[in-house]
Amino acid sequence: MNDGDDAGGWSLSALGIEGDVELELLSPSDGARWSLQLAVGLIRVGFAVDPSVLHHLRQFLAETFRTGAFLDREVAPGARQSMLEKSLLLGTAGDVDVRIHKDGKYDDRYFVKLNLRDGFLSFALTIDQAQALIVAVQQAIDELES
């Protein structure tokens, strides 16, 4: 997929880049299904999304990044009670859900997780990547709304 319309009928609608994090929101020429490409470090995933995903992701990060609201609770010295899962469905790749999960142990750690039929694939964002994601999402929203 590239910046302009091609045989696949995709156009770059919004781009956010910060550090080694890149978001590309691609719109189809037929209006049927949008796509998000997310690159973090050496990993790149592409999947179908609703175009409002950037706004939902910005809200999710604002509610969870270093707020203290979604941390596991210490119930005794060295013992923690796991919080309820806090995650956001970003989109799908066929029958595979692509989600971002807030880690309960650290207030600034996230995982991107692809839920497979018989397992999963996930990768963690470093603190720098989580901060870069926040900036990249806002850049993409600003571009989309301009």
Between CA 38 and CA 26 the distance in angstroms is: 11
Summarised one tens digit per residue, pLDDT across range 64-77 is 999 988 888 888 88
Tell me, yes or no, whether 43 lies in a domain.
yes
Mean pLDDT within 78-106: 90
Express each pLDDT in 112-125 by its tens digit. Answer: 999 998 999 999 99
Give pLDDT, residue 8. Answer: 64
Domain range enclosing 120: 10-145
Tens digits of residue pLDDT in 95-115: 999 999 999 888 999 999 999
CATH code: domain of residue 69: 3.30.2450
For the entire predicted model, the pTM comes to 0.88
Could you tell me if residue 32 is inside a domain?
yes
Domain count, the chain: 1
Spatial contact of 16 and 136, defined as CB atoms under 8 Å apart? yes
pLDDT at 1 over 60: no
Looking at the domain assignment, is residue 5 inside a domain?
A: no
Residue 1: C-alpha distances to residues 45, 85, 121 (Å): 12, 33, 23
* Spatial separation of the C-alpha atoms in residues 129 and 94, rounded to whole Å: 26
Give the SS3 label for residue 137.
Answer: helix
> Is the predicted pLDDT of residue 143 greater than 60, yes or no?
yes
* In a domain? residue 122: yes
Q: What is the mean pLDDT of residues 15-20?
A: 98
Q: What percent of the chain has pLDDT over 90?
A: 71
pLDDT at 92 over 50: yes
